[in-house]
Structure 1
Amino acid sequence: MLCACDGADSRSPAQRVASDFTTDVPMVREAMLDASYWIERLDRDDVRMDAAAIRRFNNASFELDEHLNDLDEFPQTLPRAQVLKWIDGVSRPASSPRYHVDGRIVSTEDYAALEAAVQRERVPAEVDVRWGMVVERASMRSFPTDTRVLKSQDDRDLDRFQETGVFPGQRLALLHESADGLWWFAVNYHYAAWLPKQAVALAAREQLERWAAREQRLMVTGASVTTNYNPKDARTSQVLLDMGVSLPLLTAREVGHNVHGQNPYASYIVSLPVRSDTGALEFEPALIGRGRDVRVGPLAYRPSNILRQAFKFLGERYGWGHDYNARDCTGFVGEVYKSVGILMPRNSGQQGASGFAPTKTFAPGDREERLTALANLSVGDLIYIPGHVMMYIGRVEGEPYVIHDVTGLRYFAEDQSLYTGTLSGVSVTPLTPLLLNREKSFVDGIYAIKTII
């Protein structure tokens, strides 16, 4: 046998690859790509809010923020003007050219066809709200169509008709349907847009409320998990569940010791919403192995848990509006905080301008005030620049670092030339070297910082 003293490299291939770590991201070392690096640097790791405080926080957010919808208090009828306001918020022609994936420009005729699909004229004077529940991960869209539309012919990742994602167990107020009868215009707790009917099961409002009120629940704490394979019913087989999804727990006393051909003792049994052949909501027992990244109830809201949750997404490809079975910058921070029970508005501009959490705001040119605020950040604070949000994770040698789901990378190289690269995923970066453009840094673009407490 050879030993290290004989000149042989005794490290595993994985260790040798790790030692050769290189990156074009400035000021980042490989150790920084592990949550433990940042957890070890915490001065304090106290619980910031208990379950009761989080309920109060969420209730206050629903009262303060026009972009959040308390479905428990949602009206049963709505005036036509309100429904049209929501529809007009997403279903409108873009102010700049849009392109099909084959390079054709989205024409006036294309928009006319989309407008016909929306059929605004069919919205009645008084809209009687119908109710449903999401049964599979799906997209909420600007228009009732799966057609991808791009801002430029070169940028094929960002589908500009993609608004956000919905997830199993989310309640929906159903307000309107498309001309072809295949899409609902729906409102969930933080968005209003179109989604395919096949992802929704219809139910009585009371049925949804009873299911949502069940207290013993399983929380998905991994980036995503799936239910166990079920050869008997595809509706409950390997269903994708993203971080923050919460499902009621069942017991073997309720369902027995054989669930779809598997003994449930080594799994959690959850009540999973499914869609019947007629489109009605049903609940079926489904299994999620106890070895999966799940837990009973939300995580405690403490800095170490926020860091662990954020780093579970590290390296995931950027998905605009939850495209690519992934998420964007606000989807990322939203899912992390949802795993401790905290809800927030969907889009970065809505979050940044909202009063849903203690907020510092900055006027243009207040660079020193921004730098002072950055020097006093707490782990988990959210930093807003136009169109983007970042999460503060700690400081190294005076430099604040963030984790964020981000597309581009710009900074001045050592020779002061502008370096332009790509990230397109959940990334750890320093904050102060990053640039919005040659003239403006990320720091200069900060307009709000929020502390979730």
Structure 2
Amino acid sequence: MLHAFHRISLLTGALCLSASVALAAAAMPGTPAALTKASAWTTAAGNTVLATPERIKAMNAQMDKATFGDSIQDLGASISGDKLTGYVNSFGMDEDQYIQRAPISHSFASQLVQDAKANIRPTNTVKYGVVVDRVDLRSFPTLQRAFDSASDTQFDNWQETAVDPATPVRVYHTNPQGNFIFVRTPHYRGWVPRNKVAITDAKTWQTYANPASPAVVTGRVLTLQAGTQPQLYQMGTAIPTQGGNLLLPTRNHQGYLQIVPVKAAYGADLHQGYLPYTANNTIEMAFKHLGAPYGWGGMHNSVDCSSFVQDVYKTMGIQLPRNGDEQAQSFPGKSFQGMTHAEKLAYIKTAAPGSLLFTPYHVMMVLGNYNGTPYMIHSLASYGMETSSGVVKNRIMQVVVSKVDLLAGSGTPLVDQMTQCNTWK
């Protein structure tokens, strides 16, 4: 007889694709309107395949090792209490923050920290799970949002990232109230509401962790209907398939996985398998986000700078780490250390389209050159706007096309802050 967490059932459902909605992109200084279309940057040479599936697999393994030391596939059946405590404690509590415009109380902050560590045993069983609804991954077991100021509503310090349905996770730990679980996703660790993850067995989990023939979301977002449950998927999500059906994950009343087979309807927003890794595919996927709202940590069902480039590369099977510093450090790149403004510009003019540019706080994607000026596409919170009274910070909160020497909010050209350029090949 199978254990309870082995129970899997198949249900039937109908497919509902979300309509592609044209987004209005803001005008940027020095960016002609003609450059805000993917066709301005795609070329015949851009159809060249840049890396084979075998090479992509090797790059992914290299990035996993650099970021985590292992793959989610390599995790064992248990974890020591000391190791798990280290993971949980890695999210430091800063009490100088605001919730609902009021300062965080010391008692509330202390209780969250204690809840995160409570119930950790010397040895802890690690379960297999699958995400069933797009969900926020949190620093602590709470959905309360924490901000640096009473007026801020955009940059939640406890928002780590967002996780899409069909994402495999390993479940480390449950908080005392039983409503949050601490998980490892392929790219991150953190807390999610328990009801957003379905428990399954190791064999079925592999269907989602290593899908043989995935359908890949190539729209900015896509809504699928799993029975009565609508599910929002973001670009790059790989959904397992079988016999022409998508295998959509749902959670039954006991908390276990129920798979809903839904007929796959391939088109502009859903592709059979990963896209070939080409410059043109990279650019075309990036431009599907143009005009989308900036979403810190996946807030607003959108992307910040690092999740934007991560989602684009995921459509081609390249699994970048989630955070910008990890993306820069996990793969060899060209260091800009000691280079002047002119030297950086000269190098960027030669960089392959789709290459990533890094500052300590931002990630941008190279598009190419227009009239001798290099341009990039990026999910941008704010930039510096020149006025008669000097440079002022303009909060734009959008995916935009701009020159690489766009002014940062501080008034310094972004290119002067750039530290590295990475090209995956």
| Same fold, TM-score > 0.5, yes or no | yes
Match for residue 233 of structure 2 among 241, 263, 277: 241
The alignment partner of 2:250 has SS state of strand
1:37 maps to 2:13: no
Ranked by relative contact order (alpha carbons within 8 Å, sequence separation 6 or more), the top structure is: 2
User: Mapping of 1:138-217 within 5 angstroms?
Assistant: 138-217=135-214
Summarize deviations over 1:36-88 as a string: whole Å, max 9, x none.
11114x7543110121221121122223x133741221122222222112111
User: Mapping of 1:283-362 within 5 angstroms?
Assistant: 283-291=259-267, 293-352=269-328, 354=329, 356-362=330-336
1:399 maps to 2:373: yes
Distance 2:339 2:331 in 1: 24
1:27 maps to 2:43: no
In 2, are the aligned partners of 1:436 and 1:442 still within 8 Å (CA)?
A: no
Summarize deviations over 1:247-286 as a string: whole Å, max 9, x none.
22232xxxxxxxxxxxxxxxx5211111111001121212
Structure 2 vs 1, CA of residues 60 and 22 (structure 1 numbering), >3 Å: closer, same or farther? Answer: closer
Aligned to 1:72: 73
Summarize deviations over 1:319-349 as a string: whole Å, max 9, x none.
1101111111111100000000000111112
1:418 maps to 2:391: yes
Letter in 2 for 1:345: P
Structure 2 vs 1, CA of residues 395 and 284 (structure 1 numbering), >3 Å: closer, same or farther? Answer: same
Give aligned-pair identity as a percent. Answer: 27
The alignment partner of 2:416 has SS state of helix
Give the deviation of 1:311 after TM superposition: 0.5
Distance 1:197 1:47 in 2: 41
Summarize deviations over 1:131-183 as a string: whole Å, max 9, x none.
11111110100111111111112321111111101111111111111121000
Which protein has the larger Cα radius of gyration, Structure 1 or Structure 2?
A: 1
Q: What is the TM-score with the length of structure 1 in the denominator?
A: 0.84
Distance 2:178 2:365 in 1: 41
The alignment partner of 1:195 has SS state of strand
Structure 2 vs 1, CA of residues 282 and 68 (structure 1 numbering), >3 Å: closer, same or farther? Answer: farther
Match for residue 49 of structure 1 among 48, 51, 58: 51
Aligned to 1:265: none
Give the deviation of 1:449 after TM superposition: 1.1
In 1, are the aligned partners of 2:167 and 2:208 still within 8 Å (CA)?
A: no
The alignment partner of 1:437 has SS state of coil
Aligned to 2:14: none
The alignment partner of 1:435 has SS state of coil
In 2, are the aligned partners of 1:68 and 1:191 still within 8 Å (CA)?
A: no
Structure 2 vs 1, CA of residues 138 and 68 (structure 1 numbering), >3 Å: closer, same or farther? Answer: farther
The alignment partner of 1:239 has SS state of strand
Greater CA drift, 396-405 or 279-288: 279-288
| Unmatched tracts of structure 1, length 5 or more | 1-20, 252-267
Distance 2:67 2:285 in 1: 28
Give the deviation of 1:395 after TM superposition: 1.0
Summarize deviations over 1:197-242 as a string: whole Å, max 9, x none.
11100111222114544422211111111224x6xx323xx32111
Aligned to 1:10: none
Distance 1:405 1:22 in 2: 11
In 1, are the aligned partners of 2:383 and 2:406 still within 8 Å (CA)?
A: no
Distance 1:343 1:24 in 2: 31
Letter in 2 for 1:57: M
Runs of 4+ residues over 4 Å off in structure 1: 21-24
Distance 1:159 1:185 in 2: 19
Structure 2 vs 1, CA of residues 291 and 450 (structure 1 numbering), >3 Å: closer, same or farther? Answer: closer
Match for residue 408 of structure 2 among 435, 438, 453: 435
Distance 1:381 1:67 in 2: 23
Aligned to 1:111: 109
Letter in 2 for 1:51: P
Distance 1:451 1:112 in 2: 43
Letter in 2 for 1:437: S
Greater CA drift, 191-200 or 372-381: 372-381
Distance 2:331 2:173 in 1: 32
The alignment partner of 1:227 has SS state of strand
Give the deviation of 1:291 after TM superposition: 4.5
The count of residues paired between Structure 1 and Structure 2 equals 402
Give the deviation of 1:365 after TM superposition: 6.3
Letter in 2 for 1:179: P
Letter in 2 for 1:425: Q
